[in-house]
Amino acid sequence: MQINNSGAGPSLRESFERIRSRFRDPEFLNCRGLGNEVPFFVYAYDAARELEVRELTDALVRDSVEGRLPCNVVCRDLWDVLLKICEEEDIIDDMADLERDEGPDELLSAVQEIATPEAFVGAMDFSPHERGRDVLLITGVGKVYPFVRAHAVMEAAQQLFEDIPVVLMYPGVFDGRSLRLFGCLQDGNYYRAFSLI
């Protein structure tokens, strides 16, 4: 889905109703009809509407918890995952000093060394997954840039989450081949995902 600034196309609320419809679909939940592709999806949206998307995403997760959806929506915010990794590696208290003393490039390099895409995926895992029931929702993409790129997380997740739908909530543009964060930053090529709606 590409960002549409012309006013045409579905509103955010209409988009989230379509997402709810997908999350009720047994074909979607059981990963059918994808031609042997991984069940990975991207919901691209205008980054300027981030706060609205967060509210609607929270409501979607609440609907799952309260039984208004037939699936278990597991939400992983990449910023929270990054903090968890840094806490486990015992560097979180040193990050401000490192940036002040060595500069932002050195901080970025140090964090990327431990917070690899594989580390992100491992920290997001909630095995065992239940096909037909679980959906993984990945949020916080803009908050973790440039520490990790969305396409790298999705590539690393292919092995671990091949049995359930994975939905990347993406503040930017996805054209079916590449991701552009905030509509302007080239985030990388990713060919294996489908547009969610």
pLDDT given at position 164: 95
- For residue 154, pLDDT over 50 is answered with yes
Residue 102 lies in a domain: yes
Instruction: Quote the number of domains for the chain.
Output: 1
pLDDT averaged over every residue in the chain: 88
Residue 6 lies in a domain: no
pLDDT given at position 72: 96
Tokens 């049995």 locate to 163
Contacts of 63 (CB under 8 A, 6+ apart): 20, 69, 73
Residue 145 lies in a domain: yes
- For residue 23, pLDDT over 70 is answered with yes
Confidence of residue 174 (pLDDT cuts 50, 70, 90): confident
The closest of 15, 57, 31 to 197, measured between CA atoms, is 15
pLDDT given at position 156: 93
pLDDT given at position 24: 96
Question: H or E segment at 101?
Answer: helix 95-102
pLDDT given at position 4: 41
Question: What domain range is 152 assigned to?
Answer: 12-195
* pTM > 0.85: yes or no: yes
- pLDDT tens, 29-75? 999 877 767 899 999 999 999 999 999 999 999 999 999 999 999 99
pLDDT given at position 37: 78
Contacts of 185 (CB under 8 A, 6+ apart): 145, 172
- For residue 5, pLDDT over 60 is answered with no
76-94: average pLDDT: 91
- pLDDT tens, 178-192? 888 887 767 666 667
- The span from the CA of 53 to the CA of 149, in Å, is 20
Residue 5 lies in a domain: no
Residue of higher predicted confidence among 175 and 47: 47
Residue 134 lies in a domain: yes
Residue 3 lies in a domain: no
Residue 1 lies in a domain: no
Residue of higher predicted confidence among 175 and 188: 175
Contacts of 35 (CB under 8 A, 6+ apart): none
Confidence of residue 171 (pLDDT cuts 50, 70, 90): very high
